[in-house]
A and B are shown apart, each in its own frame.
Chain A
Amino acid sequence: MQISMTMNGDEITREIEPRVLLVHFIRDELRLTGTHWGCDTSNCGTCVVLMDGVPVKSCTVLAAMADGHAITTVEGLATGATLDPVQQGFMEEHGLQCGFCTPGMMLTARALLDRNPHPDDTEIREAISGQICRCTGYATIVRSVKWAAEHPVVTENAGEEVPA
């Protein structure tokens, strides 16, 4: 079957087997390997991408279900050489170690900050609670998201927050 979607801002159309999972479509067909796979059972969240700005576990979404939607993967977070504040925050506050859960964590953080620019610790913990990190113990991820909240992207002259 044929599907079309917006992938990190680009319009794409592909021919796929109907049963292909979105995570495999992204990784194998589009070769965007920043999205990872970790568990098969929707528990670990390393495969999280944004569908129309909302975090979804791409191992539990058929690629066909993404037809007509806008998908953002980790590769779409930065704007050219400019990192999203979330990406910068994870580096500043040691929000990652092995890096495997990181793309999903950062995308969930981006979605959280888009709807709640100043989350408290509990809100951040709740936002990432569907995702597992085996390395960090989460405290530094919370700090990373707070760093991003405190350093939003600002335009040069207006000083207003803009979506990354």
Chain B
Amino acid sequence: MTITEAHAPNPAAGDADRPIGYGRIQRKEDPRFVRGKGHYVDDIVLPGMLHGAILRSPVAHARLVSIDTTRALAHPGVVAVITGQDLLGLKLAWAPTLSADVQAVLVTDKVRFQGQEVAFVIAEDRYAARDALELIDVDYDVLPPVIDARHALDPGAPVIRDDIEGRTDNHIFDWEAGNAAETDAVFASAEVIVKQEIVYPRSHPAPMETCGAVADFEPIEGALTLYETSQAPHAHRTLFAIVSGIPEHKIRIVSPDIGGGFGNKVGIYPGYILAVVGSIVTGRPVKWVEDRSENLMSTSFARDYIMQGEIAATKDGKILALRTNVLADHGAFNATAQPSKYPAGFFHIFTGSYDLQAAHCKVTGVYTNKAPGGVAYACSFRVTEAVLLVERMVDMLARKLEMDPAELRLKNLIKPEQFPYKNKTGWEYDSGNYERALRLSMEIAGYDDLRREQKEKRARGELMGIGVSFFTETVGAGPRKHMDIVGLGMADGAELRIHPTGKAVVRISVQSQGQGHETTFAQIVAEEIGIPPEDIDVVHGDTDQTPFGLGTYGSRSTPVSGAAVALVARKVREKAKFIAAAMLETRPEDLEWEKGRWFVKGDPSVGKTMAEIAMGAHGTVALPEGIDGNLDAEVTYDPPNLTFPFGAYICVVDVDPGTGHVKVRRFIAVDDCGTRINPMIIEGQVHGGLTDGVGMALMQFIGFDEAGNNLGGSFMDYLIPTSMEVPNWETGFTVTPSPHHPIGAKGVGESATVGSPPAILNAVVDAISPLGVTHMDMPCTPARVWAAMQGRATPPI
């Protein structure tokens, strides 16, 4: 639309249809995507490029007896075959993980999970490379595997990590938070205690684009350009420098458009390293892109927590304490990406949204013969597991007390006046108004009517369930005094340049995988300095062009990088004041800001717009002492605390009494992510997370048989929700700005993934509770629900 003077005396303020700042605008990245002009790793073709393919182990645990690559090397089109022995010579057979462990790049001694990398074929085209995999002869001496984490610490269990000197068992770590004695004391005198084992099964983020890389090593300069599917290009560059010995200034990591990440693209996988080695060895660029089975079987899984939960309360429903013992299955290598001090991530926010007297958790990590990983899948560093635990326990308590689950939550939620709230495991929740969010979700749902309908249906034998969950997230990691990943503080940088004509470029260290950073971050700058978002380019995903920072995961882009961008824009705005003063021949303190413009106090007609100031900065006006002739700035943001988004979710399901099939009829999500930058994008983030929740609660899990065969290794077996399994989402929101974040934003990327599974599971259990069921573990597939309805143990997962 056209903005007329009459409607907008300050054009830089924009309006509802064309906000210059926060509001619903179309995404700046979409024009290329809808034309098929997105640019993903597999779209890259370099001159002379070769194709790599990985031979993977068909067994879970085995001594590697021999590898014969003769036939593969003789295959037409094959240029090289790399084995673990070759990598030993290059000192690259093992690479450090993100958790102070090492992981085999290619097997040298022993296979430790099915799908592990055994050899790398490099050929002229992808078909030849795949053909040659069949021609590698490998002799395995199969060993008994450890598949069930419950038996990983049994005396006599096979020792998986005999590569580590002195290892005699599969124990990785014990970690605890909270006060055990205090908690035990509360439990000892509690009127009501409910206990339950809750299993959060292994799942996988399965982004539509699998992981891949194109490595291009230039031997004369000794320079490596690596195009890869990375959510954290800067951290990857540093780690590649450490692992490979290539100096960091000679490494350029480019993450182009990424087809979904959800945590899957945080880690450094053997395939990336093999592409680099392949390029060094052959002297040509090498592309490696995994197939779907490789993605599901070898890259970062998620969850796999076996949680013993206990909740204590009074008879009238005052929740007193929570405690839990967790067995964490970390697979064959401890490659989970958590801040160093927190081997179980932020699981200790399992106290949830409730005002407790005491809490204690203990987590034991173990090795098994399964794929390594563990950060993955929109979990905010294990908050997903924590929220499932507390929300199931609260629901079970409600059933025991014969209280309505929403009512019990309302009675125990932390009250607005208690913020900032210090919980019993060391977190300081920054802000919240929980009751308002829960009441809003109940209002949208028509909660009382739903309960009435349920009562009527139950009388007719129909199985309708209503599930409630309330979650508190902890995101935006994190303050450098507390948090690092492999020694790198979790800060993010931002650089802003205003060109002479008033157009801008902002460079950020985080990496979009579809979240719309090019739009959101332009809007933050626009809000702060009044340059329209379409005049602001957001540059990301190239370490040569962007400042250092730890990247996008744990919903940290807006809380950390968004803060950096707001602050760098304010720095530019402040600098603009001095330049405007020089141009207007007045003092900076005599100027006043309105969006997009500094003007003389008391005389609004005399002023300079940002574009005029930008030209002035690069022009000939005499600048005050200490002001450079540009309108640029840079910052690195170290967050003072994490942010704590929250939400109230209600799910309505119908369970088919004849088949156990669960239909999600309605889902109501009320989210509070603080200040809202682009409501359209926020809604999209929530919708995606809710769909993940349906997948985890009802359909998808990575199971294994006793031999360690992965039973979820393709989309035939690992089921992802389609348009038919999900309802039309009903969303609402409240706004409780973060008090410590420069713009009050809290992050929203993972909220719905964290909050929705317990709402769905609670609804399913509610639906089948007339049959005497008090709990079942996810996923609630028809077969498992049916078994639960018959009073049988659910089939193993």
Identify the A interface with B (CB < 8 A). Answer: 17, 19-20, 24, 27-28, 31-41, 43-44, 46, 73-75, 77-78, 83, 87-88, 90-92, 94, 96-103, 106, 121, 124-126, 128-142
Contacts and interface: CB of A to CB of B under 8 A. Distances in A.
Given A33-B43, A101-B208, A125-B723, A137 B688 contact: yes
B677 to A, nearest CB: 14
Contacts of A134: 205-208, 260, 262, 688, 691-692, 720
B527 interface: no
Interface in B257-279: 257-260, 262
Contact of B35 (A24, A75, A97): A75
Contacts of A125: 723-724
A97 B36 contact: no
A94 B688 contact: no
A91 B208 contact: no
A137 B687 contact: yes
B127 A17 contact: yes
A106 B715 contact: no
B261 to A, nearest CB: 8
Contact of A78 (B35, B680, B723): B35
B115 to A, nearest CB: 15
A87 B34 contact: yes
Interface in B31-45: 31-40, 42-43, 45
A138 B723 contact: yes
A138 B514 contact: no
Contacts of B220: none
A36 B40 contact: yes
A96 B723 CA distance: 14
Contacts of B32: 99
23 contacts: A34-B36, A39-B292, A39-B715, A41-B716, A44-B208, A74-B35, A74-B36, A77-B35, A78-B35, A91-B31, A96-B514, A98-B257, A100-B259, A124-B723, A129-B724, A131-B722, A133-B208, A134-B692, A135-B260, A137-B689, A138-B687, A138-B723, A140-B684
Contacts of A83: 34-35
Given A44-B715, A134-B260, A140-B684, A33 B36 contact: yes
A99 B257 contact: yes
Given A40-B293, A43-B714, A102-B33, 14 more contacts: A40-B291, A75-B36, A91-B30, A92-B26, A94-B680, A97-B684, A98-B514, A100-B208, A106-B34, A125-B723, A129-B723, A134-B720, A138-B722, A141-B723
Contacts of B210: 38
Nearest to A33: B43
Contacts of A31: 45
A100 B26 contact: no
Contacts of A121: 728
A119 B34 CA distance: 21
A94 B689 CA distance: 15
Contacts of A17: 127
B318 interface: no
B208 A34 contact: no
Nearest to A106: B34
B400 to A, nearest CB: 34
A158 B702 CA distance: 56
Nearest to B38: A99
A28 to B, nearest CB: 8
B35 A94 contact: no
Nearest to A74: B36
A20 B128 CA distance: 12
B514 A129 contact: no
Interface in B698-731: 714-716, 720, 722-724, 726, 728-729
A163 B207 CA distance: 33
A96 to B, nearest CB: 6
B36 A136 contact: no
Is chain B's interface secondary structure helix, strand, loop, or mixed overall?
A: loop
B262 A94 contact: no
Given A94-B27, A125-B723, A35 B36 contact: yes
B29 interface: yes
B36 A98 contact: no
Contacts of B39: 33
Contacts of A99: 29-30, 32-33, 38, 257, 259, 514
A75 to B, nearest CB: 5
Interface of B: 26-27, 29-40, 42-43, 45, 125-127, 205-210, 257-260, 262, 291-293, 513-516, 680-681, 683-684, 687-692, 714-716, 720, 722-724, 726, 728-729
Given A83-B34, A138-B726, A94 B292 contact: no
A35 B726 CA distance: 26
B42 A136 contact: no
A6 B262 CA distance: 38
A123 to B, nearest CB: 11
B127 to A, nearest CB: 7
Nearest to A31: B45
A54 to B, nearest CB: 19
A38 B691 contact: no
A87 B209 contact: no
Nearest to B29: A99
B30 A90 contact: yes
A74 B696 CA distance: 32
A14 to B, nearest CB: 15
Contacts of A43: 714-716, 720
A121 B729 CA distance: 13
B262 to A, nearest CB: 7
Q: Which of A24, A73, A135 has the most CB of B within 10 A?
A: A135
Q: Which of B209, B292, B684, B723 has the most CB of A within 10 A?
A: B723
Contacts of A94: 27, 680-681, 683-684
A17 B35 CA distance: 29
A98 B292 contact: no
The 9 closest A-B pairs by CB, nearest first: A34-B36, A98-B514, A100-B259, A137-B687, A99-B33, A74-B36, A43-B715, A97-B514, A137-B691
A131 B45 CA distance: 27
A139 B34 contact: no
A31 to B, nearest CB: 7
A139 B726 CA distance: 9
Contacts of B680: 94
A137 B689 CA distance: 8
Nearest to B719: A43
A10 to B, nearest CB: 16
Nearest to B515: A97
A46 B36 CA distance: 12
A32 B36 contact: yes
Contact of A96 (B33, B720, B726): B33
Contacts of A141: 723
Contacts of B27: 91, 94
Given A100-B208, A125-B724, A142-B723, A40 B714 contact: yes
A130 B715 CA distance: 12
Nearest to A91: B30
A141 B729 CA distance: 12
Contacts of B681: 94
Nearest to B728: A139
B634 to A, nearest CB: 29
A92 B34 CA distance: 11
Nearest to A105: B723
Contacts of B728: 121, 139, 142
A96 B292 contact: no
Nearest to A124: B723
Contacts of A27: 42-43
Q: Which of B30, B39, B262, B726 has the most CB of A within 10 A?
A: B30
A135 B688 contact: yes
A100 B38 contact: yes
B259 A73 contact: no
A46 B661 CA distance: 28
A84 to B, nearest CB: 9
Contacts of A87: 34-35
Contact of B714 (A35, A41, A101): A41
